[in-house]
Structure 1
């Protein structure tokens, strides 16, 4: 009983037990995990702009609505090409000595997951318009606008990045909308969020509970192969809109487009795969098809959907026709 009555011995012994348990239960396993879960070989470290953009992402509360974790369930397959693994987060570092916030996995998915948003939506123009006012590109969006990341100028300076905003969203303000450096840094962070391809010999994790049934199109009929309407909604609709009318001065319409309804299939496929930047009145289109790894069947499905929607009456194409053009494009590059 003398031991329990001696506070020096009692608290010293308790402290030693606590320290030993912490060492074996927390510290040693954490060091072991860090050594075993190294970042993937193709991982790209954040640029200085992207690092500052991450700080803005945290400061503006974006993590409250957006996760960065692709769970191992089929419903998450739209957010990334594979489920997330520990190595995806191994290269993330503390913000500083006082703040951890290294992994912004989040728990609330009020907005879309951002794990692979750099591939899903790489367009600088779209991201800036979306930050200025999300309702411009997604009418039903409940995301708040961030107008303080932009300024209005009547005389542009060299290097200014202008944002094409429809008149209805300018609220009577004159001049051009110009992105501040904070807006560009935040977009740089968003564009850096990409799932890293696993090394060639690695086995890619598969999504659980995957549905085997063929996708059903909007008419309710079952269609084998790629679903053009779904592919359009996931990869094209954010810019060109659900009605195919685009946004005046920002993103071109596909309804009545001579590219969509025309006979130059090579140009059409090239734009989907490699993007387009030859129209001064519109922002540059990134190479969505290449970034998302579209197959010939998926490209054909998107083309056929666009050629038969919004009053368009273009000729439908086959997977074989698209594959022939893709082979030529690969050879040319």
Structure 2
């Protein structure tokens, strides 16, 4: 009983036991993890702007609705090409000595997972418009708007980054919406979120209960992929389900001379390499290249667009598309 009556001995023993557990359960495993899990070869540290955007992501509570973790369940495959591995987070660092928010994994999915959003939706114009007014690009969105990251101007100044906002979402007609530095930094961070390709020879972990891709199965069976599914998965966010786009932001495909015309090379090139030549509209990213479109997928997508929303153009053949695909690749 002397042990329990000696406060110095009792406290010292408890402290020693606590330090022993801390060393073996927390500190040594953390050091070992840092030695074992190295950043992937193609991983890049965040730029100054991206780090500032990450701080804004934290400050605005984005983690309350968005995760950054692709789990190994099949339903998460829409967010990334593979489940996340520890090496995906090896380059993250503490924000400062007080805040350990390096890995913004999150647990809620009120909004979609953002692990690979920089590849899924790489359009800066879309991301800025989405921040300014989410309902402008996704009518059913419940995400709050962040207008305080932007400013209204009557005239643009040199260096201003204008956000192409449909007229019905403007408070005053002919107002110019300009992104503040905070908005640009936040979008820079969002676009930096991309799954890094694993080194050659390293096999990505499979999703649980993995099912064969419909497009691959269709091609193997001698059929074309589903063009409507490809459109919904890659194009609908900007060009909308109606094919009418968003006035002043994203051009329509309904009645488009590019979609219904005979210059297939221009059409295929825009799908695979993007486009930045139409006045009054934002930049289109290289959707086909980012999504690893095959000639079969491009053909199916083109035929869907050429026969939807009242379009009635002549179907294109796989041979026509493959010839152009190989030429521009």
Q: TM-score w.r.t. structure 2 length?
A: 0.95
Specify the alignment match of 1:37 in structure 2.
Answer: 37
Specify the alignment match of 2:199 in structure 1.
Answer: 199
CA contact (8 A) 2:150 2:178 kept: yes
Specify the alignment match of 1:2 in structure 2.
Answer: 2
How many angstroms apart in 1 are the aligned matches of 2:80 and 2:214? Answer: 20
Specify the alignment match of 2:69 in structure 1.
Answer: 69
How many angstroms apart in 2 are the aligned matches of 1:106 and 1:234? Answer: 24
Q: Alpha carbons of 1:59 and 1:89: their partners in 2 closer, same or farther (altered >3 Å)?
A: same
Bigger mean CA deviation after superposition, 261-270 or 191-200: 261-270
Q: Alpha carbons of 1:214 and 1:176: their partners in 2 closer, same or farther (altered >3 Å)?
A: closer
Specify the alignment match of 1:300 in structure 2.
Answer: 299
SS, match of residue 77 in structure 1 = helix
Map 1:45-56 → 2, pairs under 5 A? 45-56=45-56
Specify the alignment match of 1:168 in structure 2.
Answer: 168
For residues 118-173 of structure 1, what are the alpha-carbon distances to aligned partners after superposition, in whole Å with 9 as ceiling and x for unaligned?
A: 01111111111111101011100000011111111112211001112122111236
Specify the alignment match of 1:219 in structure 2.
Answer: none
How many angstroms apart in 2 are the aligned matches of 1:302 and 1:58? Answer: 38
How many angstroms apart in 2 are the aligned matches of 1:155 and 1:246? Answer: 26
Specify the alignment match of 2:266 in structure 1.
Answer: 267
Specify the alignment match of 1:158 in structure 2.
Answer: 158
SS, match of residue 43 in structure 1 = coil
Q: How far has the Cα of 1:117 moved from its partner?
A: 0.4
Q: Alpha carbons of 1:318 and 1:82: their partners in 2 closer, same or farther (altered >3 Å)?
A: farther
Q: How far has the Cα of 1:230 moved from its partner?
A: 1.7
How many angstroms apart in 1 are the aligned matches of 2:50 and 2:225? Answer: 35
Map 1:138-287 → 2, pairs under 5 A? 138-172=138-172, 175-212=175-212, 214=214, 224-287=223-286
Structure 2 unaligned segments of length 5 or more: list them.
216-220
Q: How far has the Cα of 1:224 moved from its partner?
A: 4.8
How many angstroms apart in 1 are the aligned matches of 2:173 and 2:8? Answer: 72
Bigger mean CA deviation after superposition, 120-129 or 319-328: 319-328
Q: Alpha carbons of 1:214 and 1:280: their partners in 2 closer, same or farther (altered >3 Å)?
A: closer
Q: How far has the Cα of 1:12 moved from its partner?
A: 0.5
CA contact (8 A) 1:152 1:174 kept: no
- In the TM superposition, structure 1's runs of 4+ consecutive aligned residues that sit over 4 Å from their partners are 212-215, 222-225
Q: TM-score w.r.t. structure 1 length?
A: 0.93
CA contact (8 A) 1:214 1:225 kept: no
CA contact (8 A) 1:214 1:224 kept: no
Q: How far has the Cα of 1:276 moved from its partner?
A: 0.6
Q: How far has the Cα of 1:49 moved from its partner?
A: 0.6
Q: How far has the Cα of 1:211 moved from its partner?
A: 3.0
Specify the alignment match of 2:131 in structure 1.
Answer: 131
RMSD: 1.7
How many angstroms apart in 2 are the aligned matches of 1:224 and 1:105? Answer: 39
Q: Alpha carbons of 1:114 and 1:108: their partners in 2 closer, same or farther (altered >3 Å)?
A: same
